[in-house]
Amino acid sequence: MNDANSQPVLFDTLTADNGSRIGIVTLNAEKTLNALSLEMIDLLAAQLTAWSSDVGIAVVVLQAAGEKAFCAGGDLQNLYQSMLAHHASDEKDDIRANRYAGDFFAREYRLDYLIHTYPKPILCWGHGIVMGGGIGLMAGASHRVVTEKSRLAMPEIGIGLFPDVGGTWFLNRMPGKLGLFLALTGAMINASDAKFTKLADYAIAQADKQTVLDALLRQPWNASQSENNELLGAVLRMTERSLELPSGPLRNHFDVINTLCSKESLAQIVAAITALETDDAWLNKAAASLAAGSPGSVHLAYLLLQRAPHLSLADVLRMEYVAALHCAAHPDFAEGIRALLIDKDQRPHWQPASLGEVRSDWMAEFIVSPWSADAHPLANLGN
């Protein structure tokens, strides 16, 4: 008999003083830093959908097991195997033929969209590492908490992908050129900068988490989403007062980053960042990550951000879905995973090997959809 606690996602409910219930979701894959597998995505989607129409559920709390990570991204191992099989098949030129990748990205993006549009408050407790697919879960929650140990990043250029899971949408909504800088460098930010870039709403000490949960049980929850949103926000604002954090490196270097990322072309932006002479370790690490990343991914991230400002979240996810499957069909995504997680040699061989070798016509193919609009696997998002 399977132990319920061995499941990769745990679900529970707490009953508040007035009889309303609080849904508790716990990512429970601590050994993999709670990286999202397809099974976890399906479990989350099913339970959140059920709770969305349950009148007894007033609010949902999304958290994770362990102290190291909320969620370090997606489960890349199975994606890697699916890419190898696809690349070796007679259907290697058809992005639809990698059915595992198609299912994974479609169901992950649907889950992210569900969270963005959820009809009840969702409190996401983003303690520890929050990267890639973890930010995809967190970004759409109505109330997003970071702690003194939170570290957030969209480091996809390092594995031959791009900041997906709606990254093209929320990175474009950050102050100034910060979203572009984070997309190109994969730089890691702390709790202060998470609030500054609007990836988080509250910074609360991890030691105060139980205080927050206890306070939620005392609230007069009702059937009004707006009133419940305010009740939850009031609890978090009250608890947040006990944690004071200094401004983070992203905010401290705001003017420098804006200047670097305001050049006329991507080539000029990359040249400016990588040529920056500074004693600041954080900026140097960001520049090094850009220099070491996939040139194709750098171009793709820039292209998608340019196309996205006037698109809805649903349209952005549809665009990202096509781009992600093109990445899965090209060599760099599998090669980036190989170098990082399989052989762990940290020496990916990118194709193209340099930014100057990336042709604009080749890059444009990454947003060409093999589906008509009404046949797209995410066609009904937002409808």
- pLDDT (tens place) for every residue of the chain, 383 residues total: 456 678 999 999 999 999 999 999 999 999 999 999 999 999 999 999 999 999 999 999 999 999 999 999 998 999 999 999 999 999 999 999 999 999 999 999 999 999 999 999 999 999 999 999 999 999 999 999 999 999 999 999 999 999 999 999 999 999 999 999 999 999 999 999 999 999 999 999 999 999 999 999 999 999 999 999 999 999 999 998 777 888 999 999 999 999 999 999 999 999 999 999 999 999 999 999 999 999 999 999 999 999 999 999 999 999 999 999 999 999 999 999 999 999 999 999 999 999 999 999 999 999 999 999 999 999 999 87
Q: Which of 108, 112, 164, 193 is catalytic?
A: 164
* Residue 345 annotated as catalytic: no
Q: Which domains does the chain have, with CATH numbers?
A: 4-375 (3.90.226.10)
DSSP secondary structure code for residue 74 in this structure = B
Catalytic residue check, 357: no
Give the H or E element holding residue 203. Answer: strand 202-203
Q: What angle do CA 278, 284, 286 make, to 5 degrees?
A: 140
Rounded to whole angstroms, the Cα distance separating 175 from 161 reads 24
Catalytic site residue 164?
Answer: yes
How much is the pLDDT for 5?
Answer: 76
Q: Which of 23, 73, 133, 336 is catalytic?
A: 133
Rounded to 10°, the helix 38-52/99-116 angle is 30
**Token duo for residue 307:** 């196309």
Provide the angle, in degrees to the nearest 10, between the axes of the packed helices 313-329 and 76-87: 60
> Which SS3 state, helix, strand or coil, does residue 124 take?
strand
Q: How far is CA 108 from CA 104, 148, 188, 190, in A?
A: 6, 28, 23, 25
Q: Is 320 a residue of the active site?
A: no
Report pTM: 0.97
Backbone angles phi, psi at 377, to 5 degrees: -60, -20
Residue tagged active-site, from 74, 179, 248, 336 = 74
C-alpha span between 329 and 323 (Å, rounded) = 10
In the sheet that 69-71 helps form, which strands lie side by side, from edge to edge? 69-71, 129-131, 151-153
Q: Which of 75, 156, 201, 332 is flagged as catalytic?
A: 156
What does DSSP assign to residue 340? I
* Pairwise CA distance, residues 93 & 381, whole Å: 27
**Res 4: pLDDT:** 62
What is the sign, positive or negative, of the torsion defined by CA atoms of 13, 16, 22, 24? negative
* Contacts of 158 by beta carbon, 8 Å cutoff, 6+ apart: 186, 289, 292, 293, 294, 336, 340
